[in-house]
Amino acid sequence: MTQPGPQEHPRHPIENLPLPGGEACPATPWWRNWKIMLPLWLVIAALVWLGLHYEVDTSVIAGGVVVIGILSNAFAWLVGIIALVPVIGPLVVKVLSIGFIWLLNAVGYLVAYVAIRRGYSKDVLTYRGLTIALIVGIVIGYVLGKLI
């Protein structure tokens, strides 16, 4: 009697489940793999903390996070994780992708830049706080409006 031989490819990871034809599924791309993206976000958070601790210019920190986030698709992965939260997650993602929010934030940065150049830094802090409160209020109102 012959013993059954070992399988040609592993079957345990979900990306290697056999297809109906018998061949294995292709491996998950690296930008969808949580084993890469989660440590990447932890490294980003650690570098931001170190940059703030050692008083590196905040525009350098922000630029580095934007470049790393765009090149590695980290922002898309994070939005996907937020969208996984039942009921509220997809609504928050939908609100964050509304162009009005992006436009409001961009105008806020431009006004803040001009105001800081003219010496109104305390007013800028108040203005940015109000802008963030407005954006959070819009998000909460949108979510509550969809749920009720």
Provide the residue ranges of all domains of the chain, joining segments of one domain with +: 31-84, 85-148
Six token digits for residue 47: 């570098």
User: Is residue 28 within 8 Å of 15, Cβ to Cβ?
Assistant: yes
The pLDDT value given to residue 53 = 93
Token pair 């979900």 in the structure block, residue: 14
Question: Assign residue 22 a region: left if phi > 0, alpha if psi is -120 to 50, beta otherwise?
Answer: left
User: Is residue 38 within 8 Å of 44, Cβ to Cβ?
Assistant: no
Q: Angle, to 10 degrees, between the axis of helix 74-83 and the axis of helix 88-96? A: 140
The pLDDT value given to residue 135 = 78
The pLDDT value given to residue 132 = 79
pLDDT by 10-residue block (mean), the chain, 148 residues: 52 54 61 83 94 91 88 86 87 78 78 83 80 81 79
pLDDT digits (tens, 9 = 90+) for 81-119: 888 888 888 888 887 777 777 777 788 788 888 888 888
The pLDDT value given to residue 79 = 86
- pTM greater than the 0.75 cutoff: no
The pLDDT value given to residue 49 = 95
The pLDDT value given to residue 2 = 55
